[in-house]
Amino acid sequence: MEEAVAILARTPAALDALLRGLPDGWVVANEGGDTWSPFDVIGHLIHGEQTDWLPRARIILEHGEARAFDKFDRFAQLAVSEGRTLANVLDELATLRDTNLRELAAMRLTDADLDRRGRHPELGVVTLRQLLATWVAHDLDHVMQVSRVLARQYSDEVGPWRAYLRVISGTQG
């Protein structure tokens, strides 16, 4: 738990440091088509704080496998964040995350609690431990996504160095 919380507690500040005060062009840029901008990602993380991680943890603790999780709308942020500023959504993410981590600590989860099982509507049986580990990996996935979206705005400008920049070229290294 301590290792998980160490990452979860840092995500809002890391994203804040990376994004706050950037010109709008950076914040609303995406990778084309239906991809998300950094602003969209922050909205998605907020929606997860409100409807995913702790609500699902409570369902596991209160109902086990008897009640499936509510389906998560991966695109709810597009409507919820409309008309808001980046500063506003960054502040909200930080506040929600702080509140949720305090609530998580108050649960005083034991190893037995972490092994309790719940039911995901698509994946089937999952444990609380897996849910919390996914919260961490989900954060890191979106930090990486924001970095990639920002870097790809300079795909052409880097010229031949593109071959060395995995964040732009997509190659593994």
Name the pTM for this structure. Answer: 0.93
Contacts 24+ apart (CB under 8 A), 143-146: 143/11, 143/14, 143/15, 145/36, 145/41, 146/15, 146/18, 146/19, 146/38, 146/41
Domain architecture of the chain: domains with CATH: 2-169 (1.20.120.450)
Please write the tens of the pLDDT for every residue from 114-127: 999 999 999 999 99
With b meaning 16 or more CB within 10 Å and e meaning fewer, what string describes 71-83?
A: ebeeebbeebbee
What six digits make up the tokens of 110?
Answer: 């034991």
As a whole number of angstroms, the distance between CA 49 and CA 10 comes to 14
What's the alpha-carbon Rg for the chain, to the nearest Å? 18
Residue with tokens 């950076």: 26
What six digits make up the tokens of 133?
Answer: 């580990």
Write out the chain's pLDDT in tens, 173 residues.
899 999 999 999 999 999 999 999 999 999 988 899 999 999 999 999 999 999 999 999 999 999 999 998 888 888 888 899 999 999 999 999 999 999 999 999 999 999 999 999 999 999 999 999 999 999 999 999 999 999 999 999 999 999 999 999 876 55
3 state DSSP class of 68:
strand
